[in-house]
Structure 1
Amino acid sequence: MTHRSSRIRRMLGAAAALTGAALVLSACAGGSDAGSTSAPQNLTIGVVAEPEKSPDPIIDGSLAGYNIYYNLFDQLTVLDADGAIQPSLATSWTPNDDFTQWTFTLRDDVKFQDGEPLTAADVVFTYETVLHTPDSDNLGYMDMLESVSAPDDHTVVFDLDSSFSPWPSITTAQSIVPEKVYTALGSEGFAAAPVGSGPFSFVSWNRGVDYVLKRNDDYWGGAPKIDTLTFQTVSDEEARLNGVISGSLDVALISPNQVTSAEGSGVDVRSRAANGTTFLGINSTAGPLADERIRQAVWHAIDREALVKTVLSGRAVANDQIIAANVAGYVSDATGPGYDPAAAKALLTAAGYTGEAIPLEYATSGRIPMSAEVAQAIAGYLEAVGITVTLSGMDQSTLSSRIYSTVDMKGLYLNTWAPSTMDGDMPATNLFAGGQNDYAKSPETAALVAKQRTVAGDDRIAVFRALAEANFQGAYIVPLFTPEADYAVSPKVTWTPRVDGLFDLSDAAFTG
């Protein structure tokens, strides 16, 4: 069954009317009288992390940031809960014959939360500002964007410097800001007092603590059902689950090994396959790992199926591609090298490996549930075939900074890539074509990433197949598994997890 948010249904003109008696709503984490129909509806989400940079959608492109931006702002297009692109600020979009130009038609009834109309000029300003902001995370996803223009108030034209068939997916990730406000405040000022056009408006932000929004009663897509939305930063897994059990949180991501405890505590567990791949990154230009045979030995040494079954309690699917099965670009019948310890040992011998220590860096908590246990299991597999591993755990922010430098990581690192656009171009570019995680430095993979942008349909899948096979051979990245995202949820909350793992709370509600 396809679950779409009420926001999307309204966009498509298919919202169902409520009939019968009015729904009696009850507050949960807000602590109000559950029996009162006028009780404030205060929803608190326990999130793993907050934006790594300033929470400005021009600058920051972190998954933590998107949780905020998808509720505070609008984008030209939007992904439904199953990852399909739907209209949002744009009602339609068309390419030219070679995908080098895209024309978007905008709605004419959208206002920012300060009452000013949203026009094509605001869209042009947003994208041009990204293009002229060297430290913008989003710039890496728009390297093909040459210019953007507005022939009139409701039309936006994107001109690209090369063919790019998945361009509409990029527009799901970029929030639109008001030119007048952003220009007056600047990035830092706007992050402290943002104005969007989304279903919720800004209330407060306490670094390291929470980010609070309130219902936008004038939202063009219809006002949300809840009054206040709080994203509370809770990096510790046990604290998130205990928060939902105690009632201080309403929804929180939990680890695979917490599911049984959660189910026995009276809270709901809601799950769905995630859109990312957890992988073992390799600096293929440093030390012993510069030898392809040693990288291939690392691949053969790891038993993905056993890792999923034992460490993750079966709440994941082994995956040997950097793209998850529900993301555009996944190749259903491409299979990588299998678990083969004997082959790993033979490769090490052929490479003349003499036991040099190889660091394996990972976050002790953060994006990857049970990351420490996963890292320890991997180290065990590698040591079993004769690879000396030095484990190094650190906080998520430190690990991310080291990875993104593309020079600090000297060996192996545990990471994950979950494209918010639900398209494989993002992880492919990031890992294989000069992106923030590109330790492959491979002209072959970079060329394939460029080629997949010029074609669509089956032709594009064929290029992704070639990219997967190039990684099978070169072992630049060792994919491990696609996790199942599990959430502890108050039974009083009506909410369905999204395939991209993000929180769009425009249709969340409390039930009586």
Structure 2
Amino acid sequence: MVAALAACGSPVAPTSSGPSSEPQPGGTITIGINSEISTLDPLANQIAGQATLVVANAVYEPLFIDGPAGALEPRLAESLTSDDLRTWTLVLQEGRTFSDGSPVTAQAVVAHVTRLGAPESECQCAALAGEISDMAVVDPATVTFTLAEPNAGFPRYFTRQLGMIASTTAKAVDGSPLGAGPYRFESAAAGSSLTVTRSSNYQGTAPHADTIVFQFLPDADSRYQSLSSGDVDLAWIDTPNLIAQAESEGHSLATANASTTTAVLNTQTAPFNDVRVRQAVQAAIDREALLAVVDQGQGAVANGPILSRSPYASGTQYPAFDPDRARALLAEVSQPISFAYTTDSRPQSIQRATAIQQMLADVGITMTIDVADTATWGTNLYSGDFEAIEFVTSAYADTDAAMGIFEAEASGNFGSYVNPEVGVLIAQGRGTADEAERKRLYADAAQRIVDDAPVLFFTESPVGFAADSSIGGMPDLHNSNVISLLPGRLWTTQ
């Protein structure tokens, strides 16, 4: 097989922390997350973010989860293999069931993928499902997928919504489809919390805690204070000062540099339709200073669309901070440059925008800061209604998918970047079974992207969970590209 993912060995064991190295059964664990979950249905996209994958992992046993250094760990799946990257064979683990005891079958997988990829679907995964030209049930545990084009990154599609196999024939009491995870829906308090309890029909390794309560705490500081006060046992943290504080206060951490901070430039409108202006802005920004001051030294500078921990990492050369080069490029343009920089209202984002504004002023560029609420920021990003916009994302965790962002017609190509040569390199890389050749092609494409500067890459930043000292089983995720915490592996002595 030229491409294969199989549960042929033991998954990487997590590093345990907490009061006891031996798992303790029973009890309740309360987890503070950064957004409200009004439905568990994968179709609604609410449990597909890094902070909410912990909810998905509780209710829907994914086919795969993200493992160390870009690897994938089979969960509900036994294997996913291909000889040509176009026809893929999925084999399910035997004996797995939904939380009502009904079997998870190949037909259930086909029905789930069909539902999420339907024309009326609002799932962010619909375009991914659209790459599948045919699905066939081989036997109760085996499905074949035929893709329109070869795609080496196809297995990773099943770490998020497409892999959260949801029953199309049975629902929980909240109306969401049943999952095959270690927990099932118990109750919800609108705008406040969601409670799940141990599923008696779960066929995997039994979870330790009886109950998991997810509290919705959108404010980062308040969420961390809830951890410090003992109101929650774990909390999602995504700001450098809180990560540093959690370390100093002795909390257990499951974090990684899994968030990439960038700015997307609209390449179809002035001033960024001129590559010299994009390159001037790129050269005028001191990313090391942003890392030191805004990110408080947490994380590392980002050097392009291929993360430093990616198996495809090959040393993309990002231009050095060089104000003189920026001024020389601007002299070639020979006209005043001004633009608006859109960001959300998080203090760290505003601080970063202010620092960038000062750096650009030093070379003669006028930048105004447009602070938008989350909804407006999202509307502007997806509609292309911006000149420059900050984009903090986990999208670069998967290199195969991230490279696709820079194809001309890609849905994630928010800045409307077009370079036909880059598109060819990406398509060739995705379609080759030779991993060394794919790495070379992606490296070539990444360097051209950085040279063209449609996106400014700032930092790879740490995000993840901090836990009270009473929680055991916290995994070591430092070498992961995506934070995907399995709550069934955690335990508490309280």
Within the candidate set 61, 86, 97, 1:111 is matched to 97
2:436 alignment counterpart: 458
1:491 equivalent to 2:469? Answer yes
Query: 1:167 maps to which residue?
Result: 154
- For residues 282 and 173 of structure 2, the distance between their equivalents in structure 1, rounded to whole angstroms, comes to 46
How far apart in 2 are the matches of 1:256 and 1:12? 30
Letter in 1 for 2:251: D
Is 1:262–1:268's contact at 8 Å kept on the other side of the alignment? yes
Q: Note the alpha carbon deviations across 1:417-463, whole angstroms, 9 max, x for none.
A: 3149x421222223544123431331423333322211241111111
**Corresponding position: 1:342 with 2:324:** yes
The whole-number CA distance in structure 1 between the counterparts of 2:12 and 2:297 is 40
The yes-or-no answer on 1:429 pairing with 2:404 is: yes
Q: Secondary structure at the match of 2:223?
A: helix
Tell me how far 1:351 sits from its aligned partner: 1.3
What is the CA distance between 1:414 and its match in structure 2? Answer: 0.9
Cα distance in 2, alignment partners of residues 381 and 342 from structure 1:
12
- For 1:67 and 1:271, how far apart are their aligned partners in 2? 12
Give the equivalent residue in structure 1 for 2:166. Answer: 177
The secondary structure found in structure 2 opposite 1:482 is: strand
The answer for the alignment partner of 1:442 in structure 2 is: 418
Q: In the aligned structure 2, how far is the partner of 1:393 from the partner of 1:400? A: 12
Partner of 1:473, secondary structure, is helix
Q: Which residue of 1 aligns with 2:4?
A: none
1:5 corresponds to? none
Q: Distance in 1 between matches of 2:232 and 2:8?
A: 28
Structure 1 unpaired stretches of 5+? 1-7, 16-20, 26-36, 183-188
- How far residue 195 of structure 1 moved from its aligned partner, in angstroms, is 0.9
- 1:46 aligns with one of 15, 29, 32: 32
Q: Kindly provide the CA deviation profile for residues 326-348 of structure 1, in whole angstroms up to 9, marking residues without a partner as x.
A: 234332x2211111011111112
Match of 1:412 in 2: 388
Shift of 1:146: 1.0
The AA in structure 2 aligned to 1:447 is V
Partner of 2:340: 359
Q: Which amino acid is 2:321 matched to? A: Y
Contact kept in structure 1, 2:306 and 2:312, CA below 8 Å: yes
**Among candidates 145, 165, 169, match of residue 132 of structure 2:** 145
Aligned mates of 1:261, 1:65 — CA distance in 2: 22
CA contact (8 A) 2:35 2:217 kept: yes
- 1:65 Cα shift? 4.5
Relative distance call for 1:301 and 1:206 in structure 2 (3 A) is: farther
Q: Unaligned stretches of 5+ in structure 2?
A: 1-6, 15-19
| Cα distance change on mapping 1:313 and 1:465 into 2, 3 Å | same
Look up the equivalent residue of 1:439 and give its one-letter code.
Answer: G
Determine what percentage of the aligned residue pairs are the same residue. Answer: 25
* Distance (Å, rounded) in 2 between the aligned partners of 1:192 and 1:470: 48
| CA shift in 2, pair 1:371/1:45, >3 Å | farther
Residue 46 of structure 1 and its aligned partner are, at CA, apart by: 1.7
The answer for the alignment partner of 1:501 in structure 2 is 483
Correspondence 1:220-235 to 2 at 5 A: 220-235=203-218
Q: Which residue pairs with 1:30 in the alignment?
A: none
- Secondary structure at 1:274's aligned position in 2? strand
SS of the counterpart of 2:81?
strand
Give 1:349 deviation, angstroms.
Answer: 1.9
TM-score (norm 2): 0.87
Matched residue count:
470
* 1:244 equivalent in alignment to 2:221: no
Aligned to 2:73: 86
Is the deviation greater in 301-310 or in 42-51?
Answer: 42-51
Judging changes above 3 Å, is the alpha-carbon distance between structure 1 residues 318 and 119 closer, same or farther for their aligned structure 2 residues? same
RMSD: 2.8
Q: What residue is the counterpart of 1:298 in the other structure?
A: 281
Q: CA deviation at 1:511?
A: 4.0
Structural mapping, 1:209-358, within 5 Å = 209-254=192-237, 255-264=239-248, 266-270=249-253, 272-331=255-314, 333-356=315-338, 358=339
1:177-205: CA deviations, max 9, x gaps?
112126xxxxxx99743310001111234
Corresponding position: 1:58 with 2:43: yes
Change (3 A) 1:307 1:13: closer
Tell me which amino acid in the other structure corresponds to 1:302.
I
**1:58, 1:328 → 2: CA distance?**
30
SS at 2:88 equivalent: strand
Change (3 A) 1:179 1:424: same
What is the identity, as a one-letter code, of the residue corresponding to 1:282? Answer: L
The answer to whether the aligner puts 1:124 opposite 2:103 as a matched pair is no
- Contact 1:288 1:353 survives alignment (8 Å): no
| Aligned equivalents of 1:194, 1:107: Cα separation in 2 | 20
Report the equivalent of 2:55.
Answer: 68
The one-letter code matched in structure 2 to 1:418 is S
Number of the residue aligned with 2:3: none
AA partner of residue 176 (structure 1): I
Amino acid at match of 1:294: V
1:58–1:126 CA contact under 8 A, matched in 2 = no
How far apart, CA to CA, are the structure 2 residues paired with 1:12 and 1:379?
46
Higher RCO, 1 or 2 (CA under 8 Å, sep at least 6)?
Answer: 2
Q: Which moved more, 1:56-65 or 1:117-126?
A: 56-65
Residue 206 of structure 1, CA deviation: 4.1
Question: CA-to-partner distance for each residue in 1:295-354, whole Å, 9 max, x for gaps?
Answer: 1111101111111112211101011212322234332x2211111011111112211231
TM-score w.r.t. the length of structure 1 is 0.84
